[in-house]
């Protein structure tokens, strides 16, 4: 009878993908075989971590990019700064699709499909929102919280707005939304960034709503 300590690495030996159980090999002085189960798809030769251990039986998760955020497997403690970097990577991977902005619900859903799914809960998401020196921004829009890439990192959106400005004498929320199909939060965040960096000017004197002019296209006099 063998009991493998939580946190140890094992190698998948035989695995039934349909029933999600099989045998693992534990190398520690001797080579022991142990029954195992997992919620993840595994195959012979894969390396996995033990997250629960009983006599001659373990529950395992595959070794992947998310396993490294577990600071202590025996206590299920998460290394918050490493997980924050993983969230940044998620946002960066989806920059073209989302502008690097995802709601807390979307981040939660993505993390619940990883090898650390059993350690993810809403309390952890709230901690990540409040984490100091995080590599991402936290945005609140219409009573919802979002994780976002820092605006200067979102090169694609900035380039698209600059290209769009070449086609029009000015931009408005409606013009941008019609051309890009972006949600309001994505448009407003980038417009605010361009305003703050002096690339555009906002004129609110128009009856039809605010217009955004790139500095080379600012009119001498507003329409009435």
Same domain, 197 and 168: yes
Q: What's the CA gap between 5 and 137, in Å, rounded?
A: 38
CATH number at residue 194: 1.10.10.10
In contact, 127 and 77? CB cutoff 8 Å: no
What does pTM read for this prediction? 0.78
Tell me the mean pLDDT in the region 68-92: 85
Q: How many residues does the chain have?
A: 224
Q: Which domain, by its residues, includes 181?
A: 153-217
Q: Rounded to the nearest 10 degrees, what angle do helices 104-111 and 80-93 cross at?
A: 100
Q: Could you tell me the pLDDT band of residue 219, with boundaries at 50, 70 and 90?
A: low
Please answer whether residues 53 and 74 qualify as being in contact, where contact means their C-beta atoms are separated by less than 8 angstroms: no
Sign of CA pseudo-dihedral 80, 82, 85, 87: negative
CB atoms within 10 A of CB 34: 22
Q: Give the per-residue pLDDT at 140.
A: 96
Burial class of 220 by CB neighbour count within 10 A (0 to 12, 13 to 18, 19+): exposed
32/87 same-domain check: no
In a domain, 222, yes or no: no
Cα dihedral: 175, 178, 181, 186 (round 10): 10
Is there a domain that residue 3 lies in? no
**Do 178 and 162 share a structural domain?**
yes
23-32, 83-92, 185-194: least confidently modelled range? 23-32
Residue 94 lies in a domain: yes
Residue 220: pLDDT band with limits 50, 70, 90 = low
Is the pLDDT confidence value at 221 over 60?
no
Q: How far apart are CA 52 and CA 55, in angstroms?
A: 11
Instruction: Give residue 65's pLDDT band: very low, low, confident or very high (50, 70, 90).
Output: confident
Which is nearest to 131 in space by CA: 107, 97, 96, 166? 107
177 in Cβ contact with 187 (< 8 Å): yes
Q: 77 and 56 share a domain?
A: no
| 41: pLDDT strictly greater than 90 | no
Residues 172 and 143 in one domain: no
- Are 202 and 210 within 8 A, CB to CB? yes
DSSP letters for 113-171: TSTTGGG--HHHHHHHHH-TT-SSEEEEETTEEEEE--GGG-HHHHHHHHHHHTTSSSB
Number of folded domains that form the chain: 3
In this structure, the dihedral spanned by the alpha carbons of residues 184, 186, 188 and 190, taken in order and rounded to 10 degrees, is: -160
H/E run at residue 31: strand 30-37
Give the span between the Cα atoms of 24 and 16, in whole angstroms: 12
| Residue 224 counted as domain residue | no
CA atoms within a 13 Å half-sphere pointing along the CA-CB vector of 17: 5
Verify that 143 and 158 share a domain, yes or no: no
Q: Give tens-digit pLDDT for 138-149.
A: 999 999 999 999
């Amino acid at each position: 009878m063998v009991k493998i300590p939580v946190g140890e690495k094992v190698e998948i030996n035989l695995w039934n993908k349909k029933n999600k159980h099989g045998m693992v090999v534990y190398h520690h002085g001797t080579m022991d075989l142990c029954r195992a189960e997992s919620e993840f798809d595994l195959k012979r030769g894969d390396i996995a971590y033990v997250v629960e251990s009983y006599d001659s039986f373990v529950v395992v998760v595959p070794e992947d990019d998310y396993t490294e955020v577990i600071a202590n497997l025996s206590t299920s403690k998460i290394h918050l700064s490493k997980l924050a970097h993983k969230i940044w990577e998620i946002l960066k991977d989806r920059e073209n699709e989302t502008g690097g902005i995802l709601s807390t619900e979307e981040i939660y859903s993505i993390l619940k499909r990883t090898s650390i799914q059993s350690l993810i809960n809403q309390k952890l998401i709230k901690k990540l929102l409040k984490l100091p020196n995080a590599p991402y921004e936290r945005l609140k829009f219409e009573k919802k919280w979002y994780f976002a890439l820092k605006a200067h990192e979102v090169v694609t959106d900035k380039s698209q707005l600059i290209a769009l400005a070449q086609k029009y004498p000015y931009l408005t929320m409606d013009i941008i939304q019609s051309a890009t199909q972006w949600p309001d939060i994505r448009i407003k965040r980038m417009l605010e960034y361009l305003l703050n960096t002096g690339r555009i000017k906002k004129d609110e004197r128009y009856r039809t709503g605010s217009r955004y002019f790139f500095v080379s296209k600012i009119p001498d006099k507003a329409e009435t």
